Amino acid sequence: MPVDPPRSASGWGRIPRLTFGGDYNPEQWDPQVWKEDVRLMQEAGVNLVTLGVFAWSWIEPEQDRFDFSGMDQVVELLHSGGIRIDLATPSASPPPWFSENFPEALPMDQYGRRLRHGSRQAFCASSGAYRERTAMVVEQLAQRYAHHPAVVMWHVGNEFGGYNIHCYCPSSAAAFRSWLMHRHGSLEDLNQAWGTSFWSQRYSAWSQVYPPGSTPGRVNPAQQLDFYRFSSDAQLECYRAERDLISRYAPQTPVTTNFMAGTFKWVDYFRWAPEVDLVSNDHYLVAADPDNHIGLALSADLSRGLAAGRPWLLMEHSTSAVQWQPRNVAKRPGELLRNSLAHVARGSDGACFFQWRQSDSGVEKWHSAMLPHGGTATRNWREVKQLGAVLNAAAEVAGSTVEREVALLWDYESFWALEMDARPSVDMRYASEVSAWHRALWKQGVTCDIVSANMTAADLSSYRLVLVPSLYLMRQSTADALTAYTQAGGHVVVGPFSGVVDAQDRVLPGSYPGMLRDLLGLRIDEFLPLAENAAVALDDGSVGHFWTERVEARGATVEVTFTNGPAAGGPAVLHHRVGRGLVRYAATRFEAAALDGLLTRALDEAGCAPCVPGAGEGVEAVRRLNGERSWLFVLNHTDRPARIDCHGVDLLSGGEADGSFSLAPGGAAVIREQSAG
Ligand code: GLA
């Protein structure tokens, strides 16, 4: 299923920015509440709400009976209150009548069990009935509201694939076969691609091919990989059908759907990003992680990579606790502001939330909201109002880009392939490798774009350093781009177990890593994972965890050697000069301090400096640029005062920074910079 070229992006159109607001679900409330909602939205400085994400049974209470009376009223109330609307299609939650009338459209799990109604996303993305009924309700909405002056953006569905990404029902099986026919052309080519000579899996008819459901033993990995690709594409087809319908009625209005970049594994957002007019993303902190602001930064840096460096929109985060983690820790005072500004610093042109008014019933009633159960007499509300004022004060940053010199490659297919079963070690996890490298940069105060592994050498040429953590599955085009980039003077660091298999999870011929042997100037004789919790020592005093390799230099220079463990005496870190550039390889997962050391060396050699040298541990500094103008975002995540070197004026406090600026514990600033001279 080919992906069309990027849409002639209508970009942000009439969307107010910096955008401030959230999901608005008026169908949960009596109409008397709606007026108060609009009044309080105005009081908080809300300029946009996402309306109707779960409103299907409100606007089509029974099959073919549409009732827009409530939504009409709400749209007019918002319009007269000056609040713009991001109008959602309700396709993420078909009503009970849909499941009753079309039971074959309910999703099926890998054991062949139909799932029941009673939650959300109770549909199979390949179901004809689902697609037809969705088209009908979306067309009704588009016809009715396309030209309403308050509707400035369309929001298709919600977090596609979140709960129903992998469906194993007969409709999915049929759609999977068609997808495979399109991808592989013939059954012979499919047999070849899936390596079906192994375990007598050779197919003699398409009717024998199924999604990889529950089987007695482990499932063919190439079959799994194609099923994951198909599943992401099936959801994408649903998105595209809705978007195209909307665009027929509202061709000038931007269309988006909210991604879960960095936290959701199963949708290949790099295939989706060219299909939205602006990238929007949802992010929720992991309460149990004391450094969860670094996870936030990863999600934001990936959102910016998906947006090709352009501004994107934080569509959802939480004002305080969520309700879906084991222990839902409330945000500390000031954390809401720091979290929101961290997203803005990293390229979001706004900060929106799930949801406007905290529900009093249903699964999400213990999830925080902009307007909590306790109403306006709450800390939460006061901080929401403060944030509205801050975003208003910082509105001049809208449209600017983020200063960065480092790219970190990310690939969903490699993510899926590396984390399948029957790999050398369960300890080698893609997401944790990428996070460890990203965290090391964050700690150095260096901002990186997280970009697609399918970048060309020309795309990479704007970066001084490219990081490639554990990119197990690799295409020839990626290896070629990295080689050309290095030859032209670029610097690259590659992590262990990279460039090992092709797009079908087939081991590349010759010695490992088939795709990168020449670029790295080495060959790997054998992968040597360690026993659980085992570690190895290196001759520079550092420690490697869970993974080693028996490496032989073939042109590369050995920097660090394993002193014990199965690869004792062999290289652990090597570098190779290629053309005018330099590529370095690490054959183990370093402990955090050693990984910092490795990346610091690479940053120095590539000439990359932190955003603000000496900002201090736990102080986040990121710069946005627009022509000659620049803004320095500084966030103090520590409980100590911080001092940073800069010149300019803080848009939040009005304070002057004349060489240095002090920040209270937990404080935040957005400095409009002046050059020191
Ligand atoms: C997601 C969904 C929202 C809500 C929040 C809760 O982001 O899109 O509808 O469920 O999670 O955190």
**529, pLDDT greater than 50:** yes
How many Å apart are CA 408 and CA 467, to the nearest integer?
Answer: 5
Residue nearest atom 5 of ligand 1, based on CA coordinates: 354
- 62 noted as active-site residue: no
Between helix 128-145 and helix 221-249 the angle, nearest 10°, is 30
Find the 323 Cα to ligand 1 centroid distance in Å.
10
Supply the mean pLDDT for the chain. Answer: 97
> Which ligand 1 atom is at minimum distance from the Cα of 260?
7
Q: How many CB atoms lie within 10 A of CB 407?
A: 26
Candidate of 49, 316, 367 to mutate for ligand 1, largest count of ligand atoms within 8 Å of Cβ: 316
pLDDT digits (tens, 9 = 90+) for 574-618: 999 999 999 999 999 999 999 999 999 999 999 999 999 999 999
Distances from the Cα of 109 to the Cαs of 65, 92, 112, 163, in angstroms? 31, 18, 5, 11
Position 676 scores a pLDDT of 56
Helices 430-444, 592-606: inter-axial angle, 10-degree rounding: 60
User: pLDDT exceeding 70 applies to what percent of the chain?
Assistant: 98
Q: Residue 8: what pLDDT?
A: 47
Q: How far is the CA of 312 from the centre of ligand 1 (A)?
A: 18
pLDDT digits (tens, 9 = 90+) for 468-489: 999 999 999 999 999 999 999 9
pLDDT band at 675 (very low <50, low <70, confident <90, very high): confident
Give the mutation target among 155, 364, 366, 368 for probing the ligand 1 site: most ligand atoms within 8 A of CB. Answer: 364
Closest by CA position to 592, among listed 531, 541, 543:
543
Give 511 or 4, the one with higher predicted confidence.
511
* Short-list 400, 465, 449, CA closest to 624: 400
The sheet with strand 557-561 has its strands ordered as 448-452, 406-410, 465-468, 491-494, 581-586, 571-578, 557-561
CA 563 to each of CA 526, 569, 619: distance values in angstroms, whole numbers, following the listed order = 17, 6, 36
- Give the SS3 label for residue 333: coil
Percent residues over pLDDT 90 in the chain: 98
Instruction: State the Cα–Cα distance between residues 361 and 381, nearest whole angstrom.
Output: 20
Q: Which residues of 546-557 are buried (b: 16+ CB within 10 A; e: fewer)?
A: bbbbbbebeebe
Q: Residue 507 has which token pair? A: 């081991």
From the CA of 363, give the closest atom in ligand 1: 10
Q: Which two tokens stand for residue 263?
A: 């936290």
Asked if 447 contacts 463 with a C-beta cutoff of 8 angstroms, the reply is: no
Q: What is the distance in A from the centroid of ligand 1 to the CA of 313?
A: 16
If one compares 504 and 675, the residue with the highest pLDDT of the two is: 504
Q: Do residues 483 and 301 lie in contact, with contact meaning Cβ atoms separated by under 8 Å?
A: no
pTM over 0.85: yes
Residues 6+ away with beta carbon under 8 Å from 269: 259, 261, 302, 306, 412
The token duo for 551 is: 């490496």
Average of per-residue pLDDT across 511-516: 97
The region of weakest confidence among 9-18, 386-395, 564-573 is: 9-18
Cα 158 to ligand 1 centre (Å): 8
What gap in Å lies between CA 459 and CA 603, rounded to an integer?
19
* Residue among 316, 383, 413, 620 flagged as catalytic: 316
Contacts of 116 (CB under 8 A, 6+ apart): 99, 106, 122
- Please determine, for residue 426, whether its predicted confidence score (pLDDT) is greater than 60: yes
DSSP class per residue in 504-565? TSPBPSSSB-TTTHHHHTEEEEEEEEPPTT-EEEBTTS-EEESEEEEEEESSPEEEEEB-SS
Pocket test for ligand 1, best of 354, 365, 366, 368 (most atoms within 8 A of CB): 354
Give me the phi and psi of 450, to 5 degrees please. -100, 115
What pLDDT is attached to residue 337? 98
- The confidence band for 2, taking pLDDT boundaries of 50, 70 and 90, is very low
∠ CA 344-83-94, nearest 5°, is 85
Amino acid at 301: D
Backbone angles phi, psi at 139, to 5 degrees: -65, -40
Radius of gyration of the chain (CA): 26
CA-nearest residue for atom 12, ligand 1, is: 322
Q: Is the pLDDT of residue 365 over 80?
A: yes
- Residue 598 has a pLDDT of 97
If pLDDT is split at 50, 70 and 90, which confidence band does 405 have?
very high
Tokens matching residue 516? 């990168």
Quick one: pLDDT at residue 6? 45
Q: Which two tokens stand for residue 302?
A: 């990936």
Distance CA 456, CA 458 (A): 5
Inter-residue contact 357 to 25 (CB < 8 Å): yes
pLDDT of amino acid 3: 39
Please list every protein residue whose CB sits less than 6 Å from any atom of ligand 1: 158-159, 282, 284, 316, 322, 354, 364, 367
Q: For residues 144, 14, 451 and 242, what is the CA-based torsion angle, rounded to 10 degrees? A: 10
Active-site residue, from 159, 405, 413, 620: 159
d(CA 27, ligand 1 centre) in Å? 17
pLDDT higher than threshold 90 for residue 4: no
User: In this predicted model, what pLDDT tens digit does every residue of 46-78 receive, in sequence order?
Assistant: 999 999 999 999 999 999 999 999 999 999 999
Q: Is 60 a catalytic residue?
A: no
Confidence band (pLDDT; 50, 70, 90) for 11? confident
Q: Domains (ranges, CATH) in the chain?
A: 19-165+231-396 (3.20.20.80), 406-606 (3.40.50.880), 619-673 (2.60.40.1180)
Per-residue pLDDT averaged across 533-540, rounded? 97
Residues present in the chain in total: 677
pLDDT band at residue 380, thresholds of 50, 70 and 90?
very high
